[in-house]
Structure 1
């Protein structure tokens, strides 16, 4: 069996206006994540209804595993003796989500199984956390799901188009955890959060003659984004483009099922690997 998962950082931004009567009042980030991801939840996207169900099985440090699925209609054929007559039937298709809610250098992390029949994780997880945010408007935190990426692809693009990159846009989320290097960018984002109550900050650098990307500012910005606190888009001459969401970090798990194991059972057994850890 081979299954691929996409990795995300779960960023929790403190809300200034909270409801002291909210059931999560006084919760830490870790407590809040454990609470909302161990609840069943339904939400709609376009014409599809999604349903999330957490697994009951306990994992060390409060790690969470659940399934997110939607109804699907399948077209099949009857056996040859029935002339391969076309039939349709309704079913459900689900992906497995693994979550580490703890607060450490690689914590508050999610891993979503990739299955095109259910949907693109880049859409599914943000829509899921949007439903959580809307369910608890008075909660102490706003959750954002930021895809992790490999900055090596950005630097490959920068070097291949040296002196030809005309625009770079960073969309940062304001810091909330121990991951990421402590640098001027991170400190600046903290100020935007404290002074403006900003949850996201967009910075664009442009020059039609070409930007110089070989400097500490760009390196610090890329490091900060790669930690799970932002995305990067860039344009170069000759209509060349880069988008960090195309450089998504994924993990492929190859494991023979033990007995009648399902994907969710393998996720429990190989939880650390599913989250991109050795």
Structure 2
């Protein structure tokens, strides 16, 4: 089974006297502790929570109704028949606050849909509640080396790079870049920050500032788009999410799969 790795960024909404004061992980457990119905590409979807072994992680299933086409019995000449069914993907989330926290693993199933798009639709439904203390953003975790391969393969020809960041809320980095984003969140109430670099003569991207920006974006708290002269080649980190294959062992038991997933993906 393939799982795509994503990350949630929870940005605190501006507080007032009536704001609910609650930790991010507690709030995530609350909003994902019940069934959530949402719409994705004009189709009804449902998130259903499932109990985990020790409660450290949030686990569940996201699915939708489908129509299955199959053959009838030999006595009915194997005629094609249809019946309603459901397709669902497993989801596992570490909601806690630490260096690699709020990471999500969502099973990849073509008949369910693209993980990033589905999770964005679920998050949109949750964010629609104006009383929430946080706004959730979701982004793919990508390989930083893919961006640098693109830069080096097109050295001197990259004319535009756009970094989009979510104001950091959980990383314990003392990096000045992270601190600047924090200040933009706390003083200007910015939830998203965009940095765009352009030059028709080609950009010099192998600098410390760009290195830090690429590291922040690819860890799942932002995204990168780039293009070369004449738009001949393009790069989009959203299309290059990290994936992990988990073998279906122990007779395919779900608990065994979840244990394997936790061991392979989540760290503290």
Same fold (TM over 0.5): yes
RMSD: 1.9
Question: Which of 77, 80, 84 is the equivalent residue of 2:78?
Answer: 84
Unaligned runs of at least 5 residues, structure 2:
none
Structure 1 residue matching 2:180: 3-state secondary structure:
helix
Deviation at 1:224, TM superposition (A): 1.0
Q: How does 1:256-267 map to 2 (within 5 A)?
A: 256-258=249-251, 261=253, 264-267=254-257
212-221 or 75-84: bigger deviation: 75-84
State the TM-score, normalizing by the size of structure 1: 0.90
Tell me the equivalent position of 1:275. Answer: 265
Mapped contact 2:6–2:116 kept (Cα < 8 A)? no
| Residue number among 27, 38, 42 corresponding to 2:22 in the alignment | 27
Q: Which residue of 1 aligns with 2:102?
A: 108
| Cα distance in structure 2, aligned partners of 1:140 and 1:18 | 10
- Displaced runs of 4 or more, over 4 A: none
Counterpart contact for 2:246–2:261, Cα < 8 Å:
no
How far is the alpha carbon of 1:275 from its aligned partner?
Answer: 2.7
Q: Which residue number corresponds to residue 47 of structure 1?
A: 42
Q: Does residue 249 of the first structure (1) align with residue 242 of the second (2)? A: yes
Q: Alignment partner for residue 140 of structure 1, among 128, 133, 144?
A: 133
On the 8 A contact 1:18/1:140 being kept in 2, the answer is: no
Q: Does 1:97 align with 2:91?
A: yes
CA displacement at 1:187 relative to structure 2: 1.8
Q: Deviations over 1:4-52 (max 9, x none)?
A: 11111111100014683x7xx2210111111111111111123311111
Task: Tell me the secondary structure at the aligned position of residue 246 of structure 2.
Answer: strand
Q: 1:50 to 1:155 in 2, by over 3 A?
A: same
Deviation (angstroms), 1:118: 0.7
- The change in CA–CA distance for 1:99 and 1:19 in structure 2 (over 3 A counts) is farther
Matched residue SS, 1:176: coil
Partner of 1:160: 153
Match status 1:230 vs 2:222: yes
Aligned partners of 1:231, 1:53: CA distance in 2, in Å? 29
- 2:165 counterpart SS class: strand
- Could you list the per-position Cα deviations for residues 185-227 of structure 1 after superposition, in whole angstroms to 9, with x for gaps in the alignment? 2122112112221111111101111000011110010011122
Deviations 1:158-197 (A, max 9, x none): 0000111000000111010126x43232122112112221
* Pairing partner for 1:176 from 165, 169, 183: 169
Once residues 257 and 71 of structure 2 are traced to their aligned partners in structure 1, the CA distance between those partners, rounded to angstroms, is 33
Residue aligning to 1:74: 68
TM-score normalised by L of structure 2:
0.93
User: Paired residue for 1:14?
Assistant: 12
- Distance in 2 between the 1:272 and 1:72 partners? 29
Structure 1 counterpart of 2:192: 200
Q: Distance in 1 between matches of 2:130 and 2:53?
A: 28
* C-alpha separation in 1, matches of 2:267 and 2:108: 18
